Amino acid sequence: MAEVYISIGSNVERERHIGLALRRLRQRYGRLRLSSIYESDAVGFEGEPFYNVAAGLESDQSPSELVRVFRAIEMECGRSRGSSRYGPRTLDLDLLLYGDLVCDQKFTLPRDEITRYAFVLRPLSEIAGDLRHPVIGKTMGELWAQFEDPGQPTRRLPLSIETLQAKAGRPYTRDPTGATRGCE
């Protein structure tokens, strides 16, 4: 079983989509280690603030299989990947770390956003502060303590994970006509 860490973010119906993602991840992988919920401004575009959470889980699936599962959960929440890379998101599920695997093929592990974005590193350091970055060699806690970018404030929110899951409601799915409808 590999120790896996992912970043979860949304700036469209944030509570609903993150709550749904957490429900689906628990159904699929069981116990999750979850950070607090953080709010951060959109980076790279003008838009509503994001909610961000880091999650840790164990899986025997390959990184490619995990990414396929994450994409399916994103699609269930109405995510369309055909649009601009920088824009509003119903849901982002990004594979950050897969054990100590280092690769740069279909995707990069460890994901470079770990050291570039406060909205990824701060929640990750909360649940995996003693975990060493497989390339840099510093712990996530050390990386967060050294992180300096005043243009990337993150705010820990008093929301609970249970509150998000209660507000998750019904997920979306796209029918063949392209319309979005509820499902479950």
Which residues are catalytically annotated? 79, 89, 92, 94
Give the position of tokens 């079983």.
1
CA nearest to 166, candidates 13, 24, 23:
23
152 class by beta-carbon count within 10 Å (0-12 exposed, 13-18 middle, 19+ buried): middle
Q: How far apart are CA 20 and CA 64, in angstroms?
A: 22
In sequence order, what are the residues at sequence separation of 6 or more whose Cβ sits closer than 8 angstroms to the Cβ of residue 108? none
Do 157 and 36 contact (CB within 8 A), yes or no?
Answer: yes
Do 3 and 58 contact (CB within 8 A), yes or no?
Answer: yes
In sequence order, what are the residues at sequence separation of 6 or more whose Cβ sits closer than 8 angstroms to the Cβ of residue 110? 96, 97, 102, 133, 134, 135
Q: How far apart are CA 35 and CA 152, in angstroms?
A: 18
